[in-house]
Structure 1
Amino acid sequence: MSLIDVFLSTLNISLPVFAMVFIGIALKRLGWIDQAFVNTASRLVFRATLPAMLFLSLIHADLERTLNPWMLAFFALATIASFVLAWGYAALRVKRHQRGVYVQGAFRGNCGVVGLALAHGMYGEVGLSLGSLLLGVVILCYNVLSVVVLAAYQLDEDGRRKAIDWNSIFRHILTNPLILAVVVATPLAALQVSLPEWIETTGDYFASLTLPLALICIGATISTRALKTSYRTAVSASLAKMVVIPLVATLAALGLGFRGAELGVLFLFFASPTAAAAFVMAKAMGGDEILTANIIALTTLVASISVTVGVFALRLNGLI
């Protein structure tokens, strides 16, 4: 395969995903969809269609082929390491009231939508299965670590630091629809349980709403106006999220022997732009939501280039 062929095939993987994001931007600008639609659609994706897609992909997964505990452990450790490094940098170079938001924006990727869509586009059902298994680790790590760092800089009405509500953290984890889907589907996949055909067909129709709807919502939430404030801090966090962390984590995965689909999915998850859920969490916990919006916008716009370049380099060297 020539260099041009490799590049064009890489574009065929990344462009459809990011084209849907830009369609979301256009639809919002044209006034065809509004914030009420985005809020409703986002809740539908999080509570129903994405759990359905994860559930169906996992019960069809060949766990003997796709379940690699070392891959899950590596992703968890790499995520924790990136979180610690981002916090260490923030403690030295970022204003105190922006540190929690900076750290969350620098390490928390949109793996559940963008990462999963890219994995499916690159590897089909195998990529979807690998990504779905990784999502269990993703959800646990991202939610717990984000709450911890945001709570560390959360202030009460008197300007004093608030105590971390661990009961609330655990309650959100135990009731997370994505975690529940993974927990329920994994033993069914291990036992090779088959669902009635009509249920699977209905589930496929429903789950097929997930990726286009979620990607359009991501595009609709991007605000270029927000980029005018806290620009330098947003750029710093975005560079960490889209360049430093994917590069270092992927090189570490290479050094540990990951290749093929596993390395490809790991890279796509590490290289995913900052999750839109980061905005909701920052706002709920009194963080700087404008800075969060800046980071989400920048990383999403940059991802169309950085992900394409990363996939192209890995494919060119025959690593994925």
Structure 2
Amino acid sequence: MNLLDVFLHTLNVTLPVFAMVFLGIVFKRIGWIDAHFITTASMLVFRATMPTLIFLSILRADLDVALQPALIGYFLGFSVLSFFLAWGWAQWRCPFEDRGVFAQGAFRGNCGIVGLALAASQYGDYGLSLGGIMVGGIILIYNVLSAAVLAYHSASAKSGMLAIIRHVTKNPLILSVLLAIPFAYFAIDLPEWVMASGNYFGAMSLPLALVCIGGTLSFTSVKRSSKLALDASLWKIVWLPALGVLGGFALGFRGAELGILFLFLGSPGAAASFVMTKAVNGNAQLSANIIVITTFASLFTISAGVFLLTALGLI
């Protein structure tokens, strides 16, 4: 594969995903969607269509192939490490009240939507299946660590351990993974009409979620971005993905596993970060700026990463 083929392959992976994000920006600007639509559609994706998509992708998967304990364990372990690296950097870089927001923004990615969409674009059903299992685990880590660090750095937070546990155990994405694994393991078949209906329903998830992300972005926020937001964004989409991929390479991950690892680690900041920051009266502007910067910039960083890894023959 020559460099032109690698470049075209890279565009085939990233552009379909980010095209949906830019459509969301356009639709919001011309008035085809509004804040009410975005709120309702995002809730539908989170509670119904995305869990359906993940459930069916795992159900169709060969768990002997899609369940990769070494990769999943490394991804989750590195994500925990990345949180402590970002939090440690924040101790020096930020005022006390912004350290939790900085740490969350620097380590928490939009794996459940952007990462999963990119994995599906690159690796099809295998990317969805392995990615769905990875999403189930990382949601748990993101929610627990983010809630804890935001509570620690905010006097108004009311997130006790029981509240965190209750929130995590009710998360529809985690529940869909836990429900799907025994179905896949015991090869339990669902009626054809259920599978067909589920496929139609679940197929709405990624394009609808990506359009909603685009509808929430604002170029004005980018203009007001602080140095802290830029610093956290570099951690999220440059330094941590680079460290994570180097570590994965050293451990012997290659091909689809290394590719999915990069796509997940390189995903932009998660919109849930803003919601959680707002809930504890944290620096919501800082959180919003990190999300906006990483979403726009990740189009280039992810494309560059896929191009480089493909050119080197690693994925």
TM-score range, shorter chain: over 0.9
Cα deviation for residue 234 of structure 1 reads 0.6
CA distance in 2, matches of 1:263, 1:255: 11
Note if 1:309 corresponds to 2:309.
no
Q: What whole-Å deviation, never above 9, does each CA across 1:163-194 have from its counterpart, x for those lacking one?
A: 65111000001110001000000011001111
SS at match of 1:179: helix
CA distance in 2, matches of 1:163, 1:134: 29
CA distance in 2, matches of 1:118, 1:238: 19
Cα deviation for residue 228 of structure 1 reads 3.7
| Pairing 1:1-320 to 2, within 5 Å after superposition | 1-156=1-156, 164-320=159-315
Q: Which residue identity lines up with residue 208 of structure 2 in the other structure? A: L
CA distance in 2, matches of 1:15, 1:226: 23
Q: Tell me, which stretches of 5 or more residues in structure 1 are unaligned? A: 157-161
Q: Which residue of 2 aligns with 1:159?
A: none
Q: Which residue identity lines up with residue 55 of structure 1 in the other structure? A: F
Q: What whole-Å deviation, never above 9, does each CA across 1:281-317 have from its counterpart, x for those lacking one?
A: 1111211111111000000000110000000111111
Q: Which moved more, 1:130-139 or 1:246-255?
A: 130-139
Q: Which moved more, 1:223-232 or 1:141-150?
A: 223-232
Q: Which residue identity lines up with residue 170 of structure 1 in the other structure? A: I
User: Is the Cα contact below 8 Å between 1:229 and 1:291 reproduced in 2?
Assistant: no
SS at match of 1:124: helix
Cα deviation for residue 227 of structure 1 reads 2.7
Structure 1 vs Structure 2 CA RMSD: 1.0
CA distance in 2, matches of 1:46, 1:143: 15
Q: What whole-Å deviation, never above 9, does each CA across 1:194-227 have from its counterpart, x for those lacking one?
A: 1100000000010011011000000011112223
Q: Which residue identity lines up with residue 97 of structure 2 in the other structure? A: H
Aligned-pair identity in percent equals 53
Q: Tell me, which stretches of 5 or more residues in structure 2 are unaligned? A: none
CA distance in 2, matches of 1:221, 1:87: 27
Cα deviation for residue 42 of structure 1 reads 0.5
CA distance in 2, matches of 1:134, 1:23: 28
Q: What whole-Å deviation, never above 9, does each CA across 1:24-68 have from its counterpart, x for those lacking one?
A: 011111111100000000000000000000000011110001111
Cα deviation for residue 95 of structure 1 reads 1.6
CA distance in 2, matches of 1:9, 1:230: 33
CA distance in 1, matches of 2:32, 2:281: 31
Cα deviation for residue 72 of structure 1 reads 1.3
Give the aligned length.
315
Cα deviation for residue 154 of structure 1 reads 1.2
Give TM-score scaled by structure 1 length. Answer: 0.97
Give TM-score scaled by structure 2 length. Answer: 0.98
Q: Return structure 1 stretches of 4+ with deviation > 4 angstroms.
A: none
Q: What whole-Å deviation, never above 9, does each CA across 1:100-134 have from its counterpart, x for those lacking one?
A: 11111000000000000000000111111110111
CA distance in 1, matches of 2:158, 2:53: 36
User: Is the Cα contact below 8 Å between 2:158 and 2:280 reproduced in 1?
Assistant: no
Q: Which residue identity lines up with residue 32 of structure 1 in the other structure? A: W
SS at match of 2:293: helix
